[in-house]
């Protein structure tokens, strides 16, 4: 099975090729079951190996670089966090058919939560779990910021997102009132610049990177975006997963001040607007998260409208 590509600079990845790489480099797992995970990740493709492990392969050169960073720093953070994160149990080398290093990790049980699936499905308990995880991550003393640990998502001023966000608004007219989106972004630009000390940040907390069982957090995946910067970006999960009631509990547990909350909401709006048209055809599950995320931001901003009525539930189904 060939994995569908999402990016122009993406390499070929398919089940047979990965099975051959595992058999050649890790003979103990030769012939074990190997199945692709859906929804697929945007930076890495993941397979379930023998039901207990995950094989993770970068899609692009940029993702390959991020994987090196992830596998260096995430194991050091793991003991200080209140929920499991993936840590490598083995490495794979590049081959003639696949140019990057890849990793084998222990599988974290659970499933991805679906935002907005039903009112109250994800109770305040999950909101508290996620807030406590973020607070623990942000409390770990980070190293001095370096180029390796820089992310544009860690910038202190959301005004840097102006051009990209305005351009994206023009592509979202099939789902939202673009006038309302422009007004929402005008208000978002009033968020104050961050002035606190930089912290460790995950940068990509969304439902596809969370594992949940019985309404509680079981693990946080995909640490390729790990960086040091403004903690506000990690608040995006408040809008891409939770409804208003859970979001209120999340904020109270995190003790987010007005400025940090406003920047987090601005990041949620901007990233959601950019991702929705980008992934509309290639990754409908992620597009559905972005659709929900934008709508939840608009719920909180006066004089804006929510999403136009459209059933996006089918977007979450795997391709035939």
Is residue 175 over pLDDT 50? yes
Distance in angstroms (rounded) separating the CA atoms of residues 208 and 127: 16
Regarding whether 198 and 97 lie in a shared domain, the answer is no
Is residue 121 over pLDDT 60? no
Regarding whether 178 and 305 lie in a shared domain, the answer is yes
Regarding whether 290 and 183 lie in a shared domain, the answer is yes
- In-domain check, residue 4: no
Regarding whether 151 and 50 lie in a shared domain, the answer is no
Q: 129-166: per-residue pLDDT in tens?
A: 999 999 999 999 998 878 888 999 999 999 999 999 99
- Which domain CATH number covers 63? 3.30.200.20
- In-domain check, residue 221: yes
Is residue 318 over pLDDT 60? no
Range 67-71, long-range pairs (CB < 8 A, 24+ positions): 67/100, 67/101, 67/102, 67/103, 67/224, 68/101, 69/148, 69/149, 69/224, 69/226, 70/222, 70/223, 70/224, 70/226, 71/103
Tokens of 193: 């610049």
Return the pLDDT at 4: 85
Tokens of 38: 């859906």
Please give, one letter per residue, the 3-state secondary structure of 38-97.
CCCCCCEEEEEECCCEEEEEECCHHHHHHHHHHHHHHHHHHHHCCCCCCCEEEEECCCCC
Distance in angstroms (rounded) separating the CA atoms of residues 113 and 285: 12
- In-domain check, residue 7: no
Regarding whether 204 and 68 lie in a shared domain, the answer is no
Band the pLDDT of 40: cuts 50, 70, 90: confident
Band the pLDDT of 307: cuts 50, 70, 90: low
Q: Are strands 216-220 and 199-201 parallel, antiparallel or unpaired?
A: unpaired
- In-domain check, residue 10: no
- What are the residues facing 92 on neighbouring strands? 102
Distance in angstroms (rounded) separating the CA atoms of residues 95 and 45: 16
Regarding whether 306 and 187 lie in a shared domain, the answer is yes
Return the pLDDT at 251: 97
Regarding whether 222 and 293 lie in a shared domain, the answer is yes
Q: Residue 50's domain spans which residues? A: 15-106
Phi and psi torsions of 30, nearest 5°: -60, 135
Q: 198-241: per-residue pLDDT in tens?
A: 999 999 999 999 999 988 999 999 898 999 999 999 999 999 99
Residues 6+ apart with CB under 8 A from 107: 48, 49, 51, 52, 53, 54
- What's the domain count of the chain? 2
- In-domain check, residue 187: yes
- Which domain CATH number covers 131? 1.10.510.10
Q: Are strands 199-201 and 102-106 parallel, antiparallel or unpaired?
A: unpaired
- In-domain check, residue 5: no
- In-domain check, residue 88: yes
Regarding whether 145 and 96 lie in a shared domain, the answer is no
pTM of the model: 0.88
Regarding whether 100 and 128 lie in a shared domain, the answer is no
Phi and psi torsions of 182, nearest 5°: -65, -40
> Of 106, 138, 173, which residue constitutes the final position of a domain?
106
> Of 73, 106, 139, which residue constitutes the final position of a domain?
106
Return the pLDDT at 319: 40
Q: 59-116: per-residue pLDDT in tens?
A: 999 888 888 888 889 889 999 999 999 988 888 999 999 999 999 998 899 989 988 6
> Of 72, 106, 140, which residue constitutes the final position of a domain?
106
Regarding whether 133 and 271 lie in a shared domain, the answer is yes
Regarding whether 189 and 74 lie in a shared domain, the answer is no
Is residue 122 over pLDDT 80? no
Regarding whether 302 and 163 lie in a shared domain, the answer is yes
- In-domain check, residue 115: no
Query: What is the rounded (10 degree) CA torsion for 211, 7, 279, 159?
Result: 90
């Amino acid at each position: 099975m060939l994995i569908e590509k999402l990016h122009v600079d993406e390499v070929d990845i398919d089940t047979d090729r990965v099975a051959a790489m595992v058999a050649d480099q890790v003979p103990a797992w030769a012939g074990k079951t190997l199945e692709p995970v859906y929804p697929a990740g945007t930076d890495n493709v993941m397979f379930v190996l023998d039901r207990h492990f995950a094989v993770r392969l970068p899609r692009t050169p940029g993702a390959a670089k991020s994987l090196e960073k992830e596998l260096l720093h995430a194991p050091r953070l793991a003991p200080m966090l209140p929920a499991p994160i993936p840590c490598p149990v083995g490495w794979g080398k590049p081959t003639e058919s696949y140019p990057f290093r890849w990793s084998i990790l222990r599988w974290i049980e659970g499933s991805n939560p679906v935002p907005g699936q039903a009112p109250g499905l994800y109770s305040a308990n999950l909101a508290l779990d996620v807030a406590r995880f973020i607070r623990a991550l942000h409390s770990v003393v980070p190293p001095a910021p370096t180029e390796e640990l820089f992310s544009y998502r860690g910038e202190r001023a959301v005004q840097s997102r102006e051009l990209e966000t305005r351009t994206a608004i023009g592509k979202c007219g099939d789902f939202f009132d673009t006038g309302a989106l422009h007004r929402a972004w005008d208000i978002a630009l009033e968020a104050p610049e961050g002035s606190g000390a930089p912290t460790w940040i995950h940068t990509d907390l969304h439902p596809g990177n969370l594992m949940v069982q019985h309404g509680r957090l079981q693990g946080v995946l995909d640490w390729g975006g790990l960086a040091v910067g403004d903690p506000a970006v990690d608040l995006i999960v408040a809008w891409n997963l939770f409804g208003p009631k859970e979001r209120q509990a999340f904020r109270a547990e995190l003790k987010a001040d007005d400025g940090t909350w406003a920047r987090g909401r601005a990041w949620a709006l901007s990233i959601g607007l950019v991702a929705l048209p980008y992934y509309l055809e290639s990754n409908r599950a992620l597009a559905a998260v972005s659709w929900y995320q934008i709508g939840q931001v608009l719920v909180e901003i006066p004089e804006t409208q929510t999403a136009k009525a459209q059933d996006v539930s089918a977007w979450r189904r795997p391709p035939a």
